[in-house]
Structures are given as C-alpha cells and as structure tokens.
Chains A and B, each alone.
Chain A
Amino acid sequence: MTNELGPESRALLDAAREGLGPDPAAIRRMRAKIDAAIAGGAAGAVAGASAATGAGASAGASAGATAGAGAGLGAAGAAGGALAVKLGALAAAAAAAIVAVVVIARGGGGGGEAVPAPRVEVVADPRAQEQARPAAREALPGPAGAPSAAREAAPDPEIEMAPVRVEPPRPEPRPAAPQPARPQAQAAPQPQSQPAAPPQQPQPPAAAPRRADLAREVELVDQAMAALRRGAPAAALAAVRVHAAETAGAGQLAEDAAAIEIEALCRLHDPGVASKLAAFDGRWPESAQRSRLTTKCP
C-alpha cells in the first residue's frame, strides 16, 4: 500500500492545483454577481422586515468546529491587480449610490426592530435580487460544526426573511434600465429614473453610472452563460453581441464575453471561429480563458 505520493503524482497535483480553481475571469464575474446580490439582499431584507417580526434571534455561532490552527490555506492568490481595480470601482460606485433604505424600514415598520439591519446599505438594484439564491439560504452551517439536520428542520429566521425565489427556471435578468429601488419619497433621488426631475435636483454621484454599467455587463454575460449551459449557443451569441454593442467592445467583461462568443460559435460550427480565436489571442495573449477554450473548442 502506498503511503506517500510519488514524484509524478506530486508534479501532476502541483500542475493541476491552479487549474482546478476558477480562472480570474470567473473570479471577477462571480464577485460582480455577489456584489449585485448583496445589494439586492439589502433591499430584500428591508422589504421583508415587516413580515419578519420576532426574527431577530438568529442563533449566531456559525463558526464551524473548534479547529484552531490557522493552517495552510488553499489560498487563491488569483485576484490580480486588474480585478482589484474593478472591484474597487464597483464598491465605490455602489457606495456612492446609497439609498437610505434602512432608515425607511425602521421608520415605517415595527417589525424592522427585530431584524438585524442589513450591513450593506447599497442601492437596491432589482436585478440583483434575482441573485438571492435558495441554496445559499439552505447552506448555513450550524454552530460548532454541526451542520445540518436540525438546522434544515428549523430554518434560520434570517433565512426566512430573505426574498423568496423559485427556481428552476431561473429568471432572466430584466433588460430594462434600472428602476428606482423603492417608491418611498424618503429615498435618495435617482434622477436617471425620473426624466422630469426639477433643475435643483441633486446630481447622481459620478460613480453611479459605472456601477450600472458593470451590473448590465454582468447581466448580459450571465445571460450568455446561461444560454450556453442550456445548449442555446445562438441565444448566447445574441447576448454577447448586445454586450459588444453596448460597451463598444471595451467593457470590463469583454474578455469573458469574447470567450463565450467563441464557445458559442464553436458549438454552432461557425467557420468564423478561427479568426475569432486569433483575435482573442491577439487581444488577451495571457488569458486564463484560453485553456478553457482549448478544451471547449479544440
């Protein structure tokens, strides 16, 4: 019986370790969607606050077992500088677009007192609520590393107040321009959704449109990915072409969109795929997507 791995196995594992993780584009894409979902969750929490009376006793302690050691972590180290810049921009944009939803909730609904205030008070993007996912709500580990049965039987009240969404099918993100987060008059004005705004109305923060742009990009790339997954490459192509049109091909997720386009063309046996691949290699010679494309589109 082998107790230790041989050098070939070690070399193979070393070579594969990074590849078994997400590529930088996936990290960026997931992060953007998480941010969007968090923003939506804040709004959803407020919306559900009045129905969540007494829900405050969320039994804390989600730390798992008592393992101490800091331990060698499977650290990613994958998020590069570009990602940091993009995320920073997103965070700044989101912060700049804050709507005082928590204040509204506390003033308007008695039940809100029983619920911990959402920690992220960002603009309530209705698209983002689509990201509030049931699996996430099922997945809270119990205290002291005892996950499961009891907790599943008695769902965490905090989970219950989250916006309920049924899937499948997953709702397609709405293509329309962002709508006002909430109708309350107390909410910070959002001039972009009020065409008849008075002249003295405060201007939106400069960063806000950038956040909306990225959210839209995420939406389109998400649509395209979903189409690929359900075996609809033509629909995926349509989505990435909308992305290209709206961003003039220079969006923050242009690399992701281009990779999806190539994969879709490949599935359609489009003769133009070779030139697209060449263009992709020229524009992103170090792309982490390239190995995936090699696999998906040999």
Chain B
Amino acid sequence: MPSFDEVYTAHVAFVWRVLRTFGLSDVQLEDAVQDVFLVVHRRLPEWEGRAAITTWLFAIARRVAAAHRRRAGGARTEELVEEPAGGDDTFAAMSRAQATATVFSILQQLDEDKRVVFALVELEQLSVPEVARMLDLNLNTAYSRLRLARHAFELAVRAQVKP
C-alpha cells in the first residue's frame, strides 16, 4: 500500500484537475484539495488496494467538489472564467499558460457529463472502460459522451484558432 506521502505526491495534480473539471473555481481549489487529502489520510488504511487509487480518489474528489459547490450556492466567481488565449496565436507560439486558459475555456463550454468523461480520458489518460466504471456508466454511454465531447472540443479549437 502506498504511503500518504506517495499518494499525495503522485496524485495531487490529478485531484486538482478533477476538482477543476467539476467546476470548482480557482479560489476553491486549494481548500478542496486539502479536503480530499484529509479524507485520504483518514481512510488510506481502509483502501487496501481494492480499487485503482485513481478510482478511489476520484470518488472522494467528486464528493468534495459537490460539497464545495453546495456551500458556494452554485455561484461561480469571476476567476472561474478565464480569458481564452488570443485567436491569432499559433500553438507553437502559445505559452503553456495560454494553452491552459484556452483548454480551460473550452472545457467550461461542455456540459459536465461530457466534460468529466473527456477530462478523464484526454487529460488524465485513463481508459474509457475505467472511466465508465468510475462514473458508473454503461460503456457505450461513456464512449458516446466522449465522442460528443471530442467533437465539441474540436469545433471549439478550430473556432479559437480561426475565428
């Protein structure tokens, strides 16, 4: 079983991105990550490797995100919507920050069901069957959401590059 330190080091970015995928704003993220890992710290001895740790972390992060969103009353802060990068940049010239802002902006345009599947597959590089299990989805449904999300993402990227 991995130690808490190992879990934190290896997966803090995963947890952060999952929380972000669930729509938490920049101002909520750090608190939410802390909440996730406080639960992880308390529950790690019970995890016992019975599931992929990403599955377990995802389940915790999902609930933490829901709790934070409830507390925020569904309100989104201005910082959640970042300005997309300028459309006249080529990708080669884009800074990482610009790429991040662009992707973030596009992801926000997807509805949450598709966004979560897309982020887990395309950003976290998990397999679709694994994502389907994580989200308790029929495999075909997961593939369908991914296909729709990819299509929407492609269209949005083209619109960003060639306005």
> Are the C-beta atoms of A4 and B150 separated by less than 8 Å?
yes
Bound state CA distance, A68 and B127, in angstroms? Answer: 12
Q: Does B138 contact A (CB under 8 A)?
A: no
| B126 interface hit (Cβ, 8 Å) | yes
Q: Which residues of B contact A34 (CB under 8 A)?
A: 8, 34, 37-38, 41
Count of inter-chain pairs, beta carbons less than 8 A: 250
A154 close to chain B: CB less than 8 A: no
In the complex formed, the residue of B with least CB distance to A138 is B67
**Contact of A173 with B by CB under 8 A:** no
B12 touches A78 (CB 8 A): yes
Greatest chain A CB density within 10 A among B13, B53, B136 is at B13
Using a CB–CB distance below 8 Å, which chain A residues touch chain B? Answer: 1-6, 8-9, 11-13, 15-22, 26-27, 29-31, 33-34, 37-38, 41, 60-79, 87, 91, 119-120, 131-136, 138-141, 145, 147-148, 158, 225, 229, 291-292, 294-295
Neighbouring A residues of B124 by C-beta, 8 Å: 72-74
Contact with A along B111-126 (1 / 0, CB 8 A): 0000000000011111
A12, B52: Cβ atoms closer than 8 Å: no
Given A64-B55, A147-B63, does the pair A11, B91 have CB atoms closer than 8 Å? Answer: yes
21 of the cross-chain contacts (CB-CB < 8 Å) are A1-B148, A8-B161, A18-B13, A21-B12, A22-B12, A34-B38, A61-B46, A63-B51, A65-B134, A72-B125, A74-B13, A74-B17, A76-B9, A78-B13, A79-B8, A91-B5, A136-B38, A136-B64, A139-B63, A140-B39, A145-B134
Q: Give Cα distance in the complex from A134 to B31, angstroms.
A: 11
Q: Is the CB of B101 within 8 A of A295?
A: yes
B160 closest partner in A (C-beta): A12
- Closest A residue to B103 by beta carbon equals A16
Q: Of A1, A64, A135, which one neighbours B56 at CB under 8 angstroms?
A: A64
Do A135 and B35 contact each other (CB < 8 Å), given the known contacts A20-B103, A64-B134?
yes
Name the one of A2, A91, A292 contacting B151, with C-beta atoms under 8 angstroms: A2
Establish whether residues B45 and A20, one from each chain, have CB atoms under 8 Å apart when the complex forms: no
Q: Which residues from B are CB-within-8-Å of A87?
A: 5
Q: Which B positions have Cβ atoms within 8 angstroms of A?
A: 5, 8-14, 16-18, 20, 27, 29-39, 41-43, 45-56, 58-60, 62-64, 67-68, 71, 82, 91, 94-97, 99-104, 122-127, 130, 133-134, 136, 147-148, 150-151, 153-154, 157-158, 161
B67 cross-chain contacts in A, Cβ below 8 A: 134-135, 138-139
Q: Which residues of B contact A71 (CB under 8 A)?
A: 52, 54, 126-127, 130
CB distance A20 to B17 under 8 Å? yes
Taking CB atoms, residues of chain B closer than 8 Å to A21 are: 12-14, 16-17
Q: Which residue among B27, B55, B136 has the maximum number of chain A CB atoms within 10 Å of its CB? A: B55
Chain B residues, CB < 8 A from A5: 122, 150, 153-154
Nearest CB in chain B: distance from A81 CB, A = 12
Q: How many whole Å from A203's CB to the nearest CB in chain B? A: 28
Q: Name the residue among A21, A30, A33, A77 with the largest chain B CB count within 10 angstroms.
A: A30
Contacts of B127 in A (CB 8 A): 69, 71-72
Bound together, the chains give a CA A269 to CA B44 distance in angstroms of: 46
Given the known A-B contacts A6-B154, A16-B100, are A147 and B59 also in contact in the complex, defined by CB atoms under 8 Å? Answer: yes
Task: Give the chain A neighbours of B82 by CB distance below 8 A.
Answer: 295
Q: Are B34 and A136 in contact (CB under 8 A)?
A: yes
Nearest neighbor of B153 in chain A, beta-carbon distance: A9
Residues of B within 8 A of A19 (CB): 96-97, 99-100
Question: 16 extra interchain contacts, Cβ-Cβ under 8 A, other than A77-B13, A145-B134?
Answer: A2-B151, A15-B100, A20-B104, A26-B30, A34-B8, A62-B46, A65-B136, A74-B18, A75-B10, A78-B13, A87-B5, A136-B34, A136-B64, A140-B43, A141-B56, A292-B97
Of the residues B8, B35, B103, B133, contact of A31 by C-beta under 8 Å:
B8
CA distance A67 to B36 in the complex (A): 20
Please indicate the chain B residues that have their CB under 8 angstroms from the CB of A139 in the complex: 35-36, 39, 60, 63-64, 67
